[in-house]
């Protein structure tokens, strides 16, 4: 489960003649931080038997709705 990190929360503003350039730098920094977060591989925990069965059931239902009736069992 992904948890929320309060350290990522901040509010800043600037009201001087250089505020637009400052904002552009802030936006670029944010983009790099987001890229680093979403690019990080996180190992997935093994699925239980019930979870696998749920996936198979959902797959069967979607396949049936599309006119293709087959199973991954």
Domain boundaries, the chain: 6-39
Location of structure tokens 């979607």: 62
Confidence of residue 62 (pLDDT cuts 50, 70, 90): low
Examine the pLDDT at 73 and tell me if it is beyond 60: no
DSSP 3-71: ---GGG-------STTHHHHHHHHHHHHHHHHHHHHHS--PPPPPPHHHHHHHHHHHHHHHHHTT----
Q: What is the pLDDT of residue 67?
A: 55
Cβ atoms of residues 14 and 23 within 8 Å: yes
pLDDT digits (tens, 9 = 90+) for 23-46: 999 999 999 988 998 898 888 889
Examine the pLDDT at 71 and tell me if it is beyond 60: no
The whole-model pTM stands at: 0.48
Please name which of 25, 1, 4, 3 lies closest in space to residue 14, comparing C-alpha atoms.
Answer: 25
């Amino acid at each position: 489960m992904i948890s929320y990190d309060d350290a990522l929360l901040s509010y800043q503003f600037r009201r001087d003649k250089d505020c637009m350039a400052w904002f552009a730098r802030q936006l670029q920094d944010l983009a790099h931080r987001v890229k680093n977060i979403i690019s990080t591989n996180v190992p997935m925990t093994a699925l239980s038997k019930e979870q696998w069965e749920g996936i198979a059931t959902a797959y069967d239902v979607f396949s049936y709705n599309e006119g293709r009736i087959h199973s991954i069992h």
